[in-house]
Amino acid sequence: MKSHRFFRMSVINAIAEVQSFRAINSDVNMKECCRLLRVRPGAASTFDYEAVEDLHAIPALFEHCSSSREQGLRGILKILIIHFRPTWGLLMPHGRRVLRQSVPPDIKQCFESAGFFKDSPDPESIIWWDGLSSYFRSNAVLGRVEMGRRGEMLSMNHERDRLVAAGHTQTEPLWSAIEDETLGYDITSWDLTGPTPKIMYIEVKASERTPFVFFLTENEWKVAQMFKETYVFHFWYLPTQRLKIVTVDEVASHLPINQGSGVWKKTQIEWPIF
């Protein structure tokens, strides 16, 4: 179900009308409720009750009826946003202005009608905004963790296949990050280019975006420099499961520098490597 069709005032208003109607007529089912509201005289009959019928699987939408229109709209918006988790929700931690400038007009109108774009926001709207910002901030982190694990699994499979193809059937890569996230690398494998195998450290980065986007911590970079000759990066572009193997020197030119009293701890890099 595409979520964008529900973030329109015609739908939000229809939900509010259904809430009010069912607060008095709790025994009327959703379909009959929408039918009755369509034939009632007045502007409310033109709201998008068809979309509301498609939302029947979200009962929380129809369990509350606020005496304040703004509070009611905010409650509806919050339930819809948490249920559908629209991608534009990731903009909320960056502030009201960023969201307002970035979303389509229909979505902007929903937020304006709920009183979120006032010059002087009320305390309740700030609490509402902060709550959803924290929600999307935590989900963004979880999403990056999940992508990282997918990349690590791909690298484990890649290394197993590589070692078997080279005749090292008794040698297994080690998924080091599962045991200790602080090591500064994710996988321990073997470099077979020389006369004797050498231990190799692999830091895995995965992304679904182009340019390729990844984060690098100060600890990962310190370890990369420590094991420079036997340390590589695996960059996975997840939509096509395409791999780029990159050296420490190749990454170095994209990093910020420490200067004065400034010391970087974590950096984001956008690299058109694919």
**pLDDT of the residue at 195:** 87
Residue 199, token pair as written in the block: 């231990």
- Contact criterion met (CB below 8 Å) for 233 and 202: yes
Residue 63, token pair as written in the block: 């369990």
Cβ-proximal residues to 154 (8 Å cutoff; 6+ apart), any chain: 204, 206, 234, 236, 241, 243
Residue 59, token pair as written in the block: 């009962």
- Contact criterion met (CB below 8 Å) for 248 and 225: yes
Integer CA distances (angstroms), 31 to 38, 80, 175, 182, in order: 11, 20, 53, 55
Q: Which residues of 70-105 are buried (b: 16+ CB within 10 A; e: fewer)?
A: ebbbbbbbbbbbbebebebbbbbbeebeebeeebee
pLDDT in tens, the chain (274 residues): 567 889 999 999 999 999 988 888 888 888 899 999 999 888 889 999 999 999 988 888 887 777 788 999 999 999 999 999 888 898 899 899 889 988 889 999 999 999 999 988 899 999 999 999 999 989 888 888 889 999 999 999 999 999 999 998 888 899 998 888 889 999 999 999 888 889 999 999 999 989 999 999 999 999 999 999 999 999 999 999 999 999 999 999 999 999 999 999 999 999 999 9
**pLDDT of the residue at 66:** 73
**pLDDT of the residue at 233:** 98
| Sign of the Cα pseudo-torsion (261, 267, 268, 269, in order) | positive
Q: Which residues of 189-217 are buried (b: 16+ CB within 10 A; e: fewer)?
A: bbebeeeeeeebbbbbbbbeeeebebebe
Integer CA distances (angstroms), 148 to 109, 114, 157, 233, 237, in order: 36, 37, 14, 13, 11
Identify the bridge partners of residue 243 per DSSP, sorted by sequence position: 236
